[in-house]
Amino acid sequence: MELTLERERKAKLLAELNKYKQELEDIKLRLAEVISKLPDEKEVPMLLRTISYVAKGVGLEIESFKLQPEQRKEFYAEVGFELTLVGSYHQLGMFFYQIGKMPRIVTIRDFSISPVGSDKKGSLLKANCVGVTYYFVQQVPETPKAKGEKDVGT
């Protein structure tokens, strides 16, 4: 009787183990997908050039494009940029639409639009915004302290 209960308990644990292994694989796949949307540090300049090409491609004039200091977080870094664009309402809309469709994550913050006049095609608007892109930061594993070493400040 006792052996039967033990066998059933172990069979149940085995069934749960397989379930947890599958969940771990699913989490690994989701992590890989999220990381693929975060470029590495080397890809950020190319991503910023792509944003500039998108603006020019929809007919916007870029008045300014200024990088902001990088901000490091736990496992990623934010690279911000201030962007001032001039163009029509539809050009601005197409620009933001295409930025939203990019495979890499780019967010637009602190957005403002003001009229600046008109040209042959219609009214012109000036858009000021802060864009932010992100990249994955590899964690450097901490090295274990040698015996006898103490933390500074302890």
Residues 77/137, Cβ–Cβ less than 8 Å: yes
**In this predicted model, what pLDDT tens digit does every residue of 47-90 receive, in sequence order?**
778 888 999 999 999 999 888 888 888 878 888 889 999 999 99
Q: Which residues lie below 8 Å from residue 80, measured CB to CB, with a gap of 6+?
A: 67, 68, 69, 71, 130, 131, 132
Give the C-alpha distances (Å, rounded to integers) separating 7 from 3, 10, 12, 92.
6, 5, 9, 67
pLDDT tens track of the chain, all 154 residues? 788 888 888 888 888 888 888 888 888 888 777 666 666 655 677 877 888 899 999 999 999 988 888 888 887 888 888 999 999 999 999 999 999 998 878 889 889 999 988 777 778 999 999 998 887 776 654 545 545 555 544 4
Q: What pLDDT score does 142 carry?
A: 53
Domain ranges for the chain, please list them.
Answer: 1-33, 41-136
Query: What's the pLDDT at 97?
Result: 94
Prediction pTM value = 0.64
Identity (one letter) of the amino acid at 137? V
Task: Give me the pLDDT at residue 114, please.
Answer: 93
pLDDT of amino acid 39: 60
pLDDT for position 106: 87
Write down the CATH number for the domain with range 41-136. 3.30.70.60
